[in-house]
Structure 1
Amino acid sequence: MKRRIPIITESDRLLPYYLVDVGSSWNQEHIVRPDGYLYQWIQCIEGEGELLTEGKTYRIKEGMAMLLLKGTPHEYYAISPSWIVDWIVFDGQQVEPFLRQTAGTQSSGALYVLRPDILLSKIQHLLDIQQSEGNLKGIQCSSVIYSLLTDIVQYTSIHPNHSAIHLNNKLKPLFDYIDQNFSRPLTLEVMAEITGVTPQHLCTVFKKTTNVRVFQYINSVRIKKSKELLLQNPQMQIKEIAYLTGFEDANYFCTVFKNLEQISPNQFRKLQLKIRK
């Protein structure tokens, strides 16, 4: 078992993220905190445990982790003979906005981890920094904690195989299909068949993965292609460019273009060609 408790200076507390405690290969004891604690990431290595928080009970086993928010009452304990975990305790001015706004995390709970090795390597890196000599440990740890938080966004989910990376990989055939067929009519039914899910589930997964609706994404691809045609073919009419990029109606094409680019296709062409002279 390894554990390092850094000396936290006033300058450390001004960092966006700072380390409070870190441990690895820890045989987790029974913890009860009725008033909560700081932010914690506790990742299961071996065995099983239970987490009680916010009126819910979660079973935590290998391939899973707990993310506990600051000030949230909780209790956790082993339910197997031993429960081995790696963990960090952290805080900082940017932790809450990152978790709530960027990660969309509103409550403490259990998460499935798609790539446990990536997150565990960050915990080991924090231990290595604390064991090293130097005056920049606080800044170095801040950087690693931010990296670990971005990994949590990419490689974890509340359901198995629903992490951002997994969903993005699942949608890759669809991204390729849209890129190759943007000029043709694209239906939700065909796109769902390519992805191997129902149309309704495709809409849900696509929005979760890209943060935009599927047809918004298609329009963005079409407008990107139209910008290329506008500049490559200065004499080509707008209605022809609209048709070549999958828009049946030139007026609708102009409306979508202006919504995305804040100027009309003609204005865009004139401005860019003037800049290039």
Structure 2
Amino acid sequence: MKVLQFTIPVPHDKTIIVQKDILPYFYPHLHRHEEIQITWIQTGEGTLIADNNMHSFQSNEIFWLGANQPHIFKSAPEYFSPKSKKRVIATVIFFNPNGQLASFFSLPEMGSIKRFLQQHTNGFKIPQENVTEIANKMLQIKNSKAGVEQLMYFVELLRIVGEMPLLTPLSTGAQPQKFSEYEGLRMSNIYNYIMQEYEKPITLEDAANIAHMTPHAFCRYFKKHTRHTFLSFLNEIRINEACKKLTNSTHTGIATVAYSCGFNSITNFNRIFKRVTGKSPSEYLDSYFKNVDDQMVA
């Protein structure tokens, strides 16, 4: 999918780009670029869409996005409130293994790392137990002055990540066929609409109107571009948000969360929740807090 193709500006004396973002919210449109992207969410929460898969994100998480992988870090709805004083903070590294670094990655000594990059084109999330180590390495890359020093820290980061076992891809299967930039913008508008309005009883007709299509044409268009039906995508967005609210210490009960995420029936919420997560809401909560307790003990 040709989705807002970005060109990351590369200084003449740099092959690794490091930036720190402090913004009201993350860039709200689907986009992609030739560079691999490593994003450390220092402050912020919301939903990551990578290709056509959704993942919650929160503070102190790190995501690796493959080259040309369509993605959007969609900040939670409260970040877009006119009175919001929230900010997102992130440190991001970009590098293009097929650009000026191509000859470097072709060295025999870089063989294992090059194979790792080729095997993880669908991106992954850094395991939480490794976040501190990778975050510190990213800070070393960002704060290093000399080019050689920065490159050494960068190779060390790749070595550490490359030795991590069982990294779960952010998306599975082949990417959808490529479409025009106009279609990419249209899909971005549809995604944004659903993610902003999921709490309301939005219908297929509502989404079709955003796309300026008939409901029948929209159904075919949406499935072709996302491999989701409109309803399955909407339900995944709602369940994704419900998971975040359930694990928030201020939540006031499963029923309240269900209704606040756009469901009008607890039975329907429980059924869809289990279909999407593989667990009932109560089982999900038990599992979540057990993991939290285990991490505290460790």
Structure number with higher strand proportion = 1
Higher Rg of the two aligned structures:
1
- Which has the bigger relative contact order, CA under 8 A and spacing at least 6? 2
Report the TM-score, using the length of structure 2 for normalisation: 0.39
